[in-house]
Amino acid sequence: MASIKDVAAEAGVSVATVSRVLNDHPSVSADARNRVLAAVEALGYRPNAVARSLRTDQTHTLGLVISDVLNPYFTELARSVEEEARALGYSVIIGNADERPDLQDHHVRTLLDRRIDGLLVSPTDGGSPLMLDAARAGTPMVFVDRWIPGVDVPVVRADGRAAVRDLVAHLHALGHRRLAIIAGPAATTTGSERVEAFREALAEYGIPLPEAYIGQGDFQAESGRRVTEGFLDLPEPPEVVFAADNLMALGALDAVRARGLRVPQDIALAAFDDIRWFVHTDPPVTAIAQPTGELGRAAVRALVDRIEGRDPRSVTLPARLVVRRSCGEPASSEPPVPSEPPASSEPPASPEPPVSSEPPASSEPSPARNRSTS
């Protein structure tokens, strides 16, 4: 492999001149610059990135710590981050926290020790002193998907409240009244936010959310299976299970099938975080889709802005409902027309606009169905 001395000898200049050319220093003559660049090309010389970083205090490397590499949502997010970073001249080192705060902090500490230029993190919980210390120390950082309240860094995320409301309206139009949720960890912002959005949307339709219909999961498949088994054992099981992420939805589907039950004939299923697999399940799963690719790209752009001294703002993009066949949708491709929440003297808690400007014919909710679970 050619060295910088070989380039200098080939070009007939000093090592210092080669160094100035490689660092784009203006004091080099056009003739010397051309000879050095020709020698670099002829010899196939590649500058040592580590040595260069010691001189420039930049490694052109970003760190990405994601919550769970087995989750297809985060896999797609990581891919979009890597593609955008490469287009902007950066490499990416990825750490998988596996939904464990201790492993998350291990990766953050390791990446900071390796002198990355900036850090993208999807936090596993809201109580990491290491993250707070890094932000206070001025480390360029952006939170993506999740965030830690009180830590002053840009956040790039999707807002799913409107999509959750659309889902509840869709389920209400299909006649469902007993709706349950498999929640994510309460310590994560996405875990708590999705439960609250679901509760608020149900309240608009006068549908209660009893504690028995709130199952605590951890964004992984086994918890979805366990919580769904508990729902099925209730004296009055829910008509719909809404899983707050895709892996818990797959676990829920396993639990239903293990009982010899069918989706949606015996119990309906919906999910947050649409994935490509959902179109291939039987039936295809109705889900809320996040703009995953754009979130990853926007997060990289915000982080590079921060690295280069600009002041990026937080970015919030809308999620959307994707209607398929797992909730008892009609055979036609057209979803049912969502009904409006019952009229109230108080404005709804949700700031989202109603689906239709016309009020329903009756303010009384339809009676709950007594669907058999065997």
Over the stretch 279-305, which tens digit does the pLDDT of each residue have?
999 999 999 999 999 999 999 999 999
- pLDDT tier at 354, thresholds 50, 70, 90: very low
Q: What is the pLDDT of residue 74?
A: 95
- Judging by beta carbons within 10 Å of its beta carbon (0-12, 13-18, 19+), is residue 273 exposed, middle or buried? buried
Q: Is the pLDDT of residue 321 over 80?
A: yes
- pLDDT tier at 20, thresholds 50, 70, 90: confident
Q: What is the pLDDT of residue 27?
A: 78
Q: What is the pLDDT of residue 113?
A: 87
Q: Is the pLDDT of residue 233 over 60?
A: yes
Instruction: Provide φ and ψ at 141, rounded to 5°.
Output: -150, 145
Q: Is the pLDDT of residue 145 over 80?
A: yes
Quote the tokens at residue 152.
């002053």
Assess contact for 256 and 265: CB atoms under 8 A: no
Decide which of 26 and 18 is more confident. Answer: 18
Strand duo 141-144 + 118-121: pairing: parallel
Q: What is the pLDDT of residue 220?
A: 94
- pLDDT tier at 356, thresholds 50, 70, 90: very low
Q: Is the pLDDT of residue 364 over 60?
A: no
Q: What is the pLDDT of residue 132?
A: 82
Least confident piece of the model among 145-154, 300-309, 338-347? 338-347
* Helix (H) or strand (E) segment spanning residue 268: strand 268-272
Q: What is the pLDDT of residue 348?
A: 38
Cα dist. 252→69, 278, 360 in Å? 20, 13, 33
d(C-alpha 181, C-alpha 323), whole Å: 18
- pLDDT tier at 351, thresholds 50, 70, 90: very low
How many residues are recorded in the chain? 374
pTM comes to 0.74
Q: Is the pLDDT of residue 352 over 50?
A: no
Decide which of 80 and 51 is more confident. Answer: 80
Q: Is the pLDDT of residue 25 over 80?
A: no
DSSP 335: P
Q: What is the pLDDT of residue 262?
A: 97
* Helix (H) or strand (E) segment spanning residue 59: none
Q: Is the pLDDT of residue 57 over 70?
A: no
Can you tell me which residue has the tokens 């200049």?
A: 13
d(C-alpha 142, C-alpha 67), whole Å: 15
Mean pLDDT of the chain: 86
Decide which of 191 and 354 is more confident. Answer: 191
Q: Is the pLDDT of residue 184 over 90?
A: yes
3-class SS of residue 38: helix
- pLDDT tier at 350, thresholds 50, 70, 90: very low
Q: Is the pLDDT of residue 257 over 60?
A: yes
- pLDDT tier at 124, thresholds 50, 70, 90: confident
Q: Is the pLDDT of residue 277 over 90?
A: no
Q: What is the pLDDT of residue 127?
A: 67
Assess contact for 240 and 205: CB atoms under 8 A: no
Alpha helix segments (H runs only) across 88-204: 101-113, 129-136, 161-173, 189-204
- pLDDT tier at 96, thresholds 50, 70, 90: very high
Q: What is the pLDDT of residue 48?
A: 57
